[in-house]
Structure 1
Amino acid sequence: MGRIAVVNWTSLDGVIQSPLSPDEDRDGGFERGGWVPLYSDDTLNDFMQTSTVNAAGMLVGRRTYEILSDAWSEADESEPAIAAMNRMPKYVVSSSPVERAWQNSHPIEGDLSAAISAIKERTDGDLVVFGSGTLVRALAEHDLVDEYRLMLFPIILGHGKRMFDDTGHLARFHLSDNVITASGVAILTYTRDTQA
């Protein structure tokens, strides 16, 4: 049985928009992109690589899929995380058609909860969710997330797309791991609390 693990960079005020580069996502006039590289170090990079390499599959929204596909589908596979992303199944949730040029990509159609539950049934390991704010909110609303791996950055961005809104389902998690990087990023892993 697979597990859904949300792996996201977030600012102190909950913003997840355009973390890697200024031009990644300017929706809503967002001009503060590229805030993650300022804090990058080996600990952070190792955490992201481990989360990627150990994943059984990727679950992403359309916009994140397009960003990742553009960046990594043709990249040098000598890097273990890139090779892992290219080989693993990628499940794309979108309300509009997506050009699926990236190998091993599959659209998720119909009822989100039923479709994801079926994918979890046939998966052995973690289905990681990177970025994908709209999808993360939908997963929370349907109570489908098993683990959050959040990299909390010591920065307030003031505005931008956030990971959560007011439609989430009540769910309890416990802190199962935590690391503080030299640059002050808190890497926090919250695992689903099985005792309701």
Structure 2
Amino acid sequence: MKLTVSLQVTVDGVAQANGGNSEELDPGFSRGGWAIGVGDAEAADYILETWRRPDAFLLGRKTFDLFETYWGARSDDGGFGEAISSKPKYVVSDTVSDPAWEQTTVLSGDLVARIRELKAEGDGELLLVGSVALARWLLENELVDELNLVQFPVIVGQGEAFLPRTGRDFALKLEDSRVFPSGIVALTYRVGGRPQYA
């Protein structure tokens, strides 16, 4: 299975709290909801189609808790809740043991081996949405096949960025790009190899 990381980010790379502020998840961060403020029906449809496409979802524990509470209760909404509730979900956690959300499997222990096993199960796509820390960890461990970054035309000036200031380097190949009326840009990159330097 292809592993795709799909994140909404700002121009300054922040991927935190795109849908709103949550003091529980993002203590001290008051600039959440930056994606909501842009408003673009075409971009929203694009993101929804991205959620409808995969064979399964991969989530970190914090994102799982948030999504289970919000999207899990909306499994018949014809949109995001239906897209994620109708598919298998894998949550990376050492604390979740008996998830109530249907079609959920907990991954723990040797995560690199577990995720490689999932990827080896055949064709299709395993999609990570949200889960910024897990996305970084997957990239650093060379488990990501594709990056789908939906960049919003806003600079928030603080918050958790997707990519750290230091880390491994990766060559990216642009597979697809779209520009939406609001200035939101969707970029899909194939991940592979190392960049060439002068």
Q: Report the TM-score, using the length of structure 2 for normalisation.
A: 0.90
> Greater shift after overlay, 166-175 or 36-45?
166-175
Name the SS for the 1:160 alignment partner: coil
The answer for the alignment partner of 1:165 in structure 2 is: 164
State the one-letter code of the partner of 2:87: M
Unaligned 5+ segments in structure 2 are none
Name the SS for the 1:74 alignment partner: helix
Name the SS for the 2:85 alignment partner: helix
Deviation of 1:89 after TM superposition, in Å, equals 1.0
State the Cα RMSD in Å.
2.0
State the one-letter code of the partner of 1:147: E
The answer for the alignment partner of 1:176 in structure 2 is: 175
Contact (CA 8 Å) 1:91, 1:106: kept in 2 or not? yes
The answer for the alignment partner of 2:132 in structure 1 is: 133
State the one-letter code of the partner of 1:115: R
1:108/1:76 Cα in 2 relative to 1: closer, same or farther (>3 Å)?
A: closer
Contact (CA 8 Å) 1:176, 1:190: kept in 2 or not? yes
> Greater shift after overlay, 26-35 or 134-143?
26-35
Quote the Cα distance in structure 2 between the aligned partners of 1:96 and 1:167.
29
The answer for the alignment partner of 2:30 in structure 1 is: 31
Deviation of 1:81 after TM superposition, in Å, equals 3.7
> Greater shift after overlay, 120-129 or 59-68?
120-129
Quote the Cα distance in structure 2 between the aligned partners of 1:195 and 1:141.
13
Quote the Cα distance in structure 1 between the aligned partners of 2:22 and 2:56.
27
Quote the Cα distance in structure 1 between the aligned partners of 2:92 and 2:123.
20
Contact (CA 8 Å) 1:10, 1:16: kept in 2 or not? yes
The answer for the alignment partner of 2:117 in structure 1 is: 118
Deviation of 1:20 after TM superposition, in Å, equals 0.6
Name the SS for the 2:176 alignment partner: strand
Deviation of 1:95 after TM superposition, in Å, equals 3.5
Quote the Cα distance in structure 2 between the aligned partners of 1:142 and 1:47.
28
Deviation of 1:28 after TM superposition, in Å, equals 4.1
Quote the Cα distance in structure 2 between the aligned partners of 1:123 and 1:65.
24
Quote the Cα distance in structure 2 between the aligned partners of 1:129 and 1:110.
19
Contact (CA 8 Å) 1:5, 1:145: kept in 2 or not? yes
Deviation of 1:82 after TM superposition, in Å, equals 2.5
Contact (CA 8 Å) 1:137, 1:168: kept in 2 or not? no
Contact (CA 8 Å) 2:6, 2:128: kept in 1 or not? yes
Deviation of 1:168 after TM superposition, in Å, equals 4.1
Matches for 1:56-67 after TM superposition, within 5 Å: 56-67=55-66
The answer for the alignment partner of 2:190 in structure 1 is: 191
Deviation of 1:79 after TM superposition, in Å, equals 0.4
Contact (CA 8 Å) 1:25, 1:33: kept in 2 or not? no
Name the SS for the 1:191 alignment partner: strand
Quote the Cα distance in structure 2 between the aligned partners of 1:12 and 1:98.
37
State the aligned residue count.
195
1:17-41 per-residue CA deviation (whole Å, 9 max, x = no partner) reads 1101123765240000111012222
State the one-letter code of the partner of 2:31: R
Deviation of 1:176 after TM superposition, in Å, equals 1.1
1:58-101 per-residue CA deviation (whole Å, 9 max, x = no partner) reads 01100111111111112151405422311211111124335512
Name the SS for the 1:7 alignment partner: strand
Quote the Cα distance in structure 2 between the aligned partners of 1:131 and 1:195.
25
State the one-letter code of the partner of 2:30: E
Quote the Cα distance in structure 1 between the aligned partners of 2:23 and 2:55.
26
